[in-house]
């Protein structure tokens, strides 16, 4: 079984395609359930962010698994499979591992180095684990990916070089408005992105933040938290959006809605009210809207209004600030490459362990059979001599097995190492069903065996 990735991201598709593929938590659960209906798929999880939708699966066959995943995403998005595959990318086995490590480290984000994707991968894994759709393979892969992401952020300067999507959006807004100090801001959406937006706005020195959310209690919680940090804030429901926009200089939208929440009519009414009530000196004051939603939170037609500037994800991806410094990115890639090699070596060694265990079991059974023959042929042999013969036979067998079992583990850690385990099974006529049972955990993987101690040139029994 191998890991298969089928994905679409900002690197492979325009925003309009990503909008069709966007998912919420219930969609993700349905996608995974449908993918697992295929007999060729044993584990699956969905990673859905503002800039990507990716399905990670453990499959028995590449083409069959790919077909199953593609068909499910085609049905979910409403796109014909042929059209969808034009924007999709596929990674298999080692390439899938490398991709997830890079994603979790922020190397594949629209804004290189952003930390949010680390939390998004963690939530994707947690959701799949809660729904029992991940097994040992995706569990180990996800845990290692999260560890790699933390290491990259801790050991490189990629965080400082690659700011979050929010900070890049606000830097772009400042180019239109000048300083944000003393400005009035509106945040639409009270989730994690909304909270991040209020923090960035507070650091930029805005004078006031109005929080708008479909759930008023959630808007109040975020507004109260902002007030505690010294930023004047108020909460509003989504129905009040037109009136709240009247005084706004900058708007940050980041909801999980499946259709625009800021309509052309809302902005029209806000601008009309502003012109009627504002002093002549403030007429024509620009309005900058940062649309960070995926799919879009803002009606695309709003970008055509005079005095309104819309900064969307397509624009953010083109900003120089969205790219990490070359040295930091290179250092991060070096860590990812080393971690991928280490992970794959460990996986290859783990795959050969059932074969080594099966060989030792086979040897132990042969020894026991021969000792039984000895008992039958020399029934009068006293227990002291019998025990000495048994120890001698076991030591001989262990010494003969030591070199091939240690060496096969070393060789297995290199690329293509699985062939050595296969050779071991052939040479010693090991039962493949027994090896598979050990690999599946149906038999204890590590029974008491004797291990060679190179320091004393002897064997010691271990549990």
Q: Is the bond leading into 230 cis (omega within 30 degrees of zero)?
A: no
Q: What's the length of the chain?
A: 463
Map residue 189 onto helix, strand or coil: coil
Cα Rg for the chain, rounded, in angstroms?
A: 30
Active site residue 50: yes
- Of the candidates 310, 268, 275, which has an alpha carbon nearest to the alpha carbon of residue 293? 310
Side-chain-side CA neighbours of 187 within 13 Å: the count stands at: 32
The Cα–Cα gap between 172 and 393 comes to 77
Residue 39: phi and psi, rounded to 5, are -70, -10
Catalytic entry in 50, 227, 283, 290 = 50
Q: Is there a contact between 112 and 323 (Cβ–Cβ < 8 Å)?
A: yes
Beta bridge partners of 57: 4, 44
Q: Is there a contact between 16 and 74 (Cβ–Cβ < 8 Å)?
A: no
Q: Is the bond leading into 193 cis (omega within 30 degrees of zero)?
A: no
The Cα–Cα gap between 117 and 258 comes to 20
**Residue 88 parent element (H or E):** none
Helices (H), 131-263: 136-155, 158-161, 165-177, 192-203, 216-228, 241-245
Terminal CA-to-CA distance of the chain, rounded, Å? Answer: 29
Active-site residue list: 50
């Amino acid at each position: 079984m191998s890991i298969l990735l089928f994905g679409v991201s900002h690197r492979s598709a325009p925003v309009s395609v990503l909008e069709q593929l966007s998912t919420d938590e219930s969609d993700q659960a349905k996608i995974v359930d449908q993918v697992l209906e295929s007999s060729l798929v044993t584990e699956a999880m969905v990673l859905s962010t503002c800039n990507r939708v990716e399905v990670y699966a453990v499959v028995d066959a590449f083409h069959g698994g790919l077909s199953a995943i593609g068909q499910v995403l085609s049905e979910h998005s409403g796109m014909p499979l042929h059209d969808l595959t034009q924007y999709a990318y596929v990674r298999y086995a080692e390439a899938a591992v490398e991709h997830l490590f890079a994603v979790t480290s922020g190397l594949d984000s629209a804004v290189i180095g952003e930390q949010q994707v680390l939390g998004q991968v963690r939530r994707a894994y947690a959701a799949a684990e809660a729904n029992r759709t991940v097994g040992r393979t995706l569990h180990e892969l996800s845990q290692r990916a999260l560890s790699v992401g933390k290491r990259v952020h801790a050991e490189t300067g990629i965080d400082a070089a690659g700011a979050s999507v929010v900070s890049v959006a606000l830097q772009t807004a400042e180019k239109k408005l000048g300083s944000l100090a003393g400005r009035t801001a509106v945040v639409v959406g009270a989730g994690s992105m909304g909270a991040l937006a209020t923090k960035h706005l507070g650091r930029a020195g805005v004078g006031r933040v109005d929080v708008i959310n479909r759930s008023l209690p959630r808007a109040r919680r975020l507004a109260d938290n902002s007030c505690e940090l010294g930023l004047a804030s108020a909460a509003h429901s989504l129905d009040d959006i037109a009136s709240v926009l009247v005084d706004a200089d900058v708007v940050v939208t980041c909801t999980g809605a499946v259709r625009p929440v800021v309509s052309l009519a809302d902005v029209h009414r806000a601008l009309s009210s502003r012109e009627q009530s504002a002093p002549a000196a403030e007429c024509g004051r620009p309005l900058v809207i940062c649309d960070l939603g995926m799919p879009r939170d803002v009606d695309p037609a709003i970008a055509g209004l005079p005095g309104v500037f819309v900064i969307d994800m397509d624009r953010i991806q083109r900003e120089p600030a969205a790219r990490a410094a070359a040295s930091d990115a290179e250092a991060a890639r070096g860590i990812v490459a080393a971690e991928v090699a280490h992970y794959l070596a460990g996986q290859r060694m783990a795959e050969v362990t059932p074969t080594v265990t099966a060989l030792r079991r086979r040897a132990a059974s042969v020894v026991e059979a021969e000792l039984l023959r000895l008992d039958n042929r020399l029934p009068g042999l006293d227990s002291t001599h019998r025990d000495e013969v048994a120890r001698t036979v076991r030591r001989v067998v262990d010494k003969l097995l030591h070199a091939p079992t240690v060496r096969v583990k070393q060789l297995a850690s290199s690329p293509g190492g699985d062939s050595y385990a296969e050779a071991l099974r052939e040479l010693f006529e090991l039962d493949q069903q027994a090896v598979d049972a050990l690999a599946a955990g149906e038999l204890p993987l590590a029974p008491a065996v004797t291990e060679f101690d190179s320091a004393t040139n002897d064997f010691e029994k271990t549990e």
